[in-house]
Amino acid sequence: KQEVTQIPAALSVPEGENLVLNCSFTDSAIYNLQWFRQDPGKGLTSLLLIQSSQREQTSGRLNASLDKSSGRSTLYIAASQPGDSATYLCAVRPIISGANNLFFGTGTRLTVIP
């Protein structure tokens, strides 16, 4: 069974710092990997989708990389802002017959201090 791990579980940084969130997965047979943001008590907002054939995707201050062979992805946030405070979740869609779902990590709770 695919397992997804996110380290660290929580991270606190001062405003303006660049930071990296880590995601690892046990089975490299995936269609894609998706990064989400979740504010307290809210649903998930999709940030970036990386296809299995891609190495990275960028959106504004966010850059996500994927190393499928080693089962790792990173989310880089440049020049962090207090509004970036949220929980960040990564999820993979495995290539398994009959598997039509995403496997999620437990998230990294980010706090950006003004």
Partner 1 sequence: DTGVSQDPRHKITKRGQNVTFRCDPISEHNRLYWYRQTLGQGPEFLTYFQNEAQLEKSRLLSDRFSAERPKGSFSTLEIQRTEQGDSAMYLCASSPFQGSLNTEAFFGQGTRLTVV
Q: Give the binding site for partner 1 (CB under 8 A).
A: 4, 31-32, 34, 36, 41-46, 49, 51-52, 89, 91, 93, 95, 98-107
Other beta carbons within 10 angstroms of residue 84's beta carbon come to: 18
**108: which 2 tokens?**
């990294």
Q: Smaller CB distance to partner 1: residue 10 or 79?
A: 10
Question: What's the min distance (Å) between Cβ of 17 and partner 1?
Answer: 25
Question: What's the min distance (Å) between Cβ of 44 and partner 1?
Answer: 4
Q: Smaller CB distance to partner 1: residue 16 or 38?
A: 38
Question: What's the min distance (Å) between Cβ of 30 and partner 1?
Answer: 9
Distance set, CA 35 to CA 2, 23, 63, 98, 113 (Å):
17, 9, 10, 23, 22
Q: Smaller CB distance to partner 1: residue 3 or 15?
A: 3
| Element (DSSP H or E) covering residue 86 | strand 86-94
Place of tokens 């437990």: 106
Q: Smaller CB distance to partner 1: residue 2 or 65?
A: 2
The answer to whether residues 73 and 89 touch, using CB atoms and an 8 Å cutoff, is no
